[in-house]
Structure 1
Amino acid sequence: MYDCYKQANDNRNTSRDLASSVVEVASHVQTAVETTTQLARENAFQNHLKVIDSVTVETELQGYLKAKNIEFVEKFDILSWWKNKAVEYPILSQLVRDIMPTPVSTVASESAFSTGGRVLEVYRSSLKPDMAEALICTQNWLRPSFYQFKAIKFDEECEICEDALNGTIIF
């Protein structure tokens, strides 16, 4: 997930850098040779910044994990802490902004995915039909069937074998 955010951040920085270089070039009236030389320098500088950014981005997660833990505070606000650390951890703070507001469900997983006594309708299910079908089929495949795995007593099994040997039972 971190890599996805890193790529999105790199794309955003690239488009911002390209827009700023276009504005800068448009504001200066220069000859074609000077403009080409300047663009070549800017592109080289932008490539250099990308290399530096990729090095710092790769170490951002490692730096966060290696950072010293903060002291326990009774009324600690994690969202405010991440807001303050957004400059230090830009990609991780974006990731946290997307994940932290996600509500945590207190429903037991058994009741959430149980199909007994429920009718799945469009209005009652936010799952796509393919996913609901896959979950129900998987549940049925994984749950042992009573008839398939019925425990047969040893005496009954011996009687069935003897009847089969005597020819009284036809398979």
Structure 2
Amino acid sequence: MVTLDAIQSKIAKLQKQAESIVQKQTSVGLAKIRDLMAKHGLSLADIESFVGKRRGRKPGASAKTATKRAVAAKYADPKTGATWTGRGRAPLWIRDVKDRSKFLIDGSAANGAAANPAGRKVAAKAARKTRASSTAVSKNAGKRAKAAPAKKAARKSGGRKSAATSAQVATAA
């Protein structure tokens, strides 16, 4: 039967072997790097400057990251306490809800738009867009209703318009 001490001594011996293997591999890798640097005439400063250029953005270097502001949450789930700012994809707890006003956090969207002149401008612009799109929809619906008999007549005649059908369309319009 194998004892705990025997297993621990084997583990220690294997760990020493693993460390020696890692040391050999790193020394071989470093030797290759040194040879390549000597072959191409590179210094450590050359490598550091090249690596610095190739890496991602430095913190605070971009004007875009400096102008980002934290957005206050507008909606909260009363069951879990999870919040959502109203931006981006809606979370599952509010995604299929038709009336999101139940989830509004006090003093966020409705009160903020009324108190803030910029918010009122945005709300007015959104209302104008809604009215314009609904007017366009109703105008297009009327055009479609007038064009429907002509299309049906064209389908019945095999796609060819006769003089009678075009006269009928002219009187219908």
The TM-score bracket by the shorter chain reads under 0.3
Higher RCO (CA-CA < 8 Å; seq separation 6+): 1
Q: Which has the larger radius of gyration?
A: 2
Q: Please give the TM-score of this superposition, normalised by the length of structure 2.
A: 0.25
Q: Please give the TM-score of this superposition, normalised by the length of structure 1.
A: 0.25
